[in-house]
Structure 1
């Protein structure tokens, strides 16, 4: 069985990707959660993996790090990770790679914090461009491949890579087009997303640097996290 190392569910967008991919694909795995700042737990983990960052997947003695590398490693063993249709698979890989490498302004201005709701102080043009591009990308996938997922009728890795954006959409009230907003709503209703959300807001740990980024971004209108 695989072992997946992740960080706090309230904050860790990178951890969400392989976690939800494994869950949706029905691939058994053991979860190991490393709380931000818990050096007693992180020290042996860093000794085990070259990057010292989450997510990291263990397959026996084999260590696979980085969410995109994990997705490709799993795809070699589990064909359902990417769409079976060649055109859909090519699009899905391209879209996932674009998410993996891009949208820096969205990441900077809208740090993942699933348990709160924020009214942004402002929406700079660069953030609007990131949001518009994601909305267009989702709409393209839904229209080309028929939905209800981004590359067809099955949840695949491309949906996993955009799952953190869905939570950001909810947290910050981002403005997507009609089709993209409907997709985000469907995603939030997935049992896998609801499980991550419920477990994330149940965490009582607070990462002050993440919270400060969110306070700098806008006014907190709600905080649903456990006290």
Structure 2
């Protein structure tokens, strides 16, 4: 996928946050050895970066991969794969 020009500043900002936190707290999670809500918040971003093959430097790519292999993220991804394409309750007219 081509990264839109408008998305580049957002991607750069996310990467700056990741690099700053990883540098300051030593990783492998944003605030050190244990995951926090910040890691959970950025999990969907990591997934989008992978899905759209967003070019990342090695530090950010490493964090993205760490999050994608984090047990709760793996569980979430696997659960998403078995969700139905359509949900009956969303087809009901109000």
**Is contact 1:149-1:155 (8 Å) kept?**
yes
Shift of 1:174: 1.1
Q: 1:181 aligns with which of 61, 67, 81?
A: 61
- Structure-2 separation of matches of 1:148 and 1:141: 10
Root-mean-square deviation over aligned CA pairs: 1.5
Which residue number corresponds to residue 32 of structure 2?
A: 152
Higher relative contact order (CA 8 A, sep 6+): 1
Matching of residues 74-89 of structure 1 within 5 Å = none
Runs of 4+ in 1 over 4 A off after TM superposition: none
List alignment gaps of at least 5 residues for structure 2. 88-94
Q: 1:192 aligns with which of 60, 72, 75?
A: 72
- Structure-1 separation of matches of 2:71 and 2:40: 14
Q: Which has the higher helix share?
A: 2
Deviations 1:93-138 (A, max 9, x none): xxxxxxxxxxxxxxxxxxxxxxxxxxx2x32222111111111110
1:168 matched to 2:28? The reply is no
Cα 1:206–1:181, aligned 2, differ >3 Å: closer, same or farther?
farther
List alignment gaps of at least 5 residues for structure 1. 1-119, 208-227
Q: What TM-score results when the alignment is normalised by the length of structure 1? A: 0.37
Cα 1:127–1:206, aligned 2, differ >3 Å: closer, same or farther?
farther
- Which has the higher Rg, Structure 1 or Structure 2? 1
Matching of residues 1-150 of structure 1 within 5 Å = 120=1, 122-150=2-30
Q: What TM-score results when the alignment is normalised by the length of structure 2? A: 0.84
Q: Which has the higher strand share?
A: 1
